[in-house]
Amino acid sequence: MRIRKPRLDLDEVVREFRPKIGFKVRRALGARNPDWEDVTNEVLAQAVEKIRAGEFRGDSTIGTFIYTITVRRITDYIRRKTKVLKFVPEPDTPDTPPEHAEKDQELKRMIAALATLKPQYKEVLNLYYLMEMTREETARRLGLSPAKVSERVNYAQKLLRRKMRR
Amino acid sequence: MRSCLQKSRIDDYLLNRMDESERTGFEQHYFDCAPCFRALEKRDLVLRAVKAAGSPVLAVPFESPMSRGRRFLRPWMAAAAGAFLLAGVLLGPGLLRKPAAWIPPTGDAVRGGTIEAVAPVGGMPAAPAALEWRPLGEGVEYAVTLSGPGVDWSGRTRETRIALPAPVRGALRPDTDYRWQVKAFAPQGFFMGTSGPQPFRIGR
């Protein structure tokens, strides 16, 4: 019996997984690490190569397949970097590349939107996200129920998205 | 299309509150689930903005429980409270003012000129021999009264001084308050003016 290999649109794979791989790599290496984009590209190149070589047989989802490659590549990077750092000082963080300017702009607009929130939303974001209190701690501090805290955080997010669209 | 992950799980991931196996399971899920990844990105942007903005943007001035209550005031409630306060400000002093001391009616309306009293006024070392005032005009007749505990005397004169009779003078006691008053009348008999009550006290 012949096993039918799943047919994948590689452009679609790259389009869908680049942000996911980038997100995971940034979280693992730190958003200020200038190498995160190189590592992301290496993961994508390796994934495409393996798919072309027929190494993805459909035993797992394509997401799990690419996730496994990502985690291995991150581990390699950290191992290699640890060896290098024994002898070489860390280079300065370069200026923000132009392709990241849009992301930075988005962050700036979000910060501006935060400033316009009503105090009841600011105080819950301050305790829950900035001070990293748990939902229960935040609830106790504000005299609310934990469910109400979640509701306020979710509504604050909705308000922020709405303000950013204006 | 909605995220199938609870937002609280997304927060736990972003705030590093998951153990190794939970984190791996979560990450594998968002690699496969586009809506969850979009929800994760949105939440991550809020978190990064909060961290970047920090306390200067998010600090909320302390609010007392009373001022928190103000948020729940409806406009009509605020208007009613304002009207009530305004009425209080306008009427309050009148309602809260101490009642004026009762003064026995004298039947006199103070009108016309004022006669300036000369003596006795204030504290006196001994019982005064006479009462004295400034003139109010020519041909004026003055009616004088002296009152106090055990004393109620009156006299008339065209002078600006009147001597107290010996029995009246003898009735004045030390450390006791007395009042005297002079009223002026024109030759035709109509009222011209008064000095008003002049208190005095005899010391020991």
Say what the ipTM of the complex is.
Answer: 0.84
DSSP letter (8 states) at residue B33: -
Note the pLDDT of residue B109.
41
- Does residue A25 contact residue A66 with C-beta atoms inside 8 Å? no
In chain B, where do the E strands start and end?
Answer: 113-114, 117-119, 122-124, 130-133, 141-148, 151-157, 161-163, 177-185, 191-194, 198-202
Sequence spans of domains, chain A: 10-85, 98-165
Name the CATH topology of A10-85: Rna Polymerase Sigma Factor; Chain: A (1.10.1740)
Look at residue B2 and tell me whether its pLDDT is greater than 90.
Answer: no
A165 band by pLDDT with thresholds 50, 70 and 90:
confident
Tell me what the mean pLDDT of segment A76-102 comes to.
Answer: 65
**Inter-chain CB proximity B48 and A120 less than 8 Å:** no
**Inter-chain CB proximity B37 and A24 less than 8 Å:** no
**Inter-chain CB proximity A161 and B42 less than 8 Å:** yes
Percent of chain B's residues with pLDDT above 90:
20
From B43, which residue of chain A is nearest by alpha-carbon distance? A157
Task: Give chain B's mean pLDDT.
Answer: 79
The position carrying tokens 């021999």 is B129
Q: Please give the residue that has the higher pLDDT: either B53 or A40.
A: A40
The position carrying tokens 């709405």 is A162
**Inter-chain CB proximity A122 and B58 less than 8 Å:** yes
Give the predicted TM-score (pTM) of the model: 0.56
Strand arrangement of the beta sheet that strand B130-133 belongs to: B117-119, B130-133, B161-163
To probe the interface with A, which of B57, B62, B71 has the most A CB atoms within 10 Å? B57
Name the CATH topology of A98-165: Arc Repressor Mutant, subunit A (1.10.10)
Tell me what the mean pLDDT of segment B106-135 comes to.
Answer: 74
Structural domains of chain B, ranges and CATH numbers in brackets: 7-58 (no CATH), 113-202 (2.60.40.10)
Enter the tokens of residue A2: 């012949």
- From chain B, pick out residues whose CB is under 8 angstroms from the CB of A129: 15, 46-47, 50-51
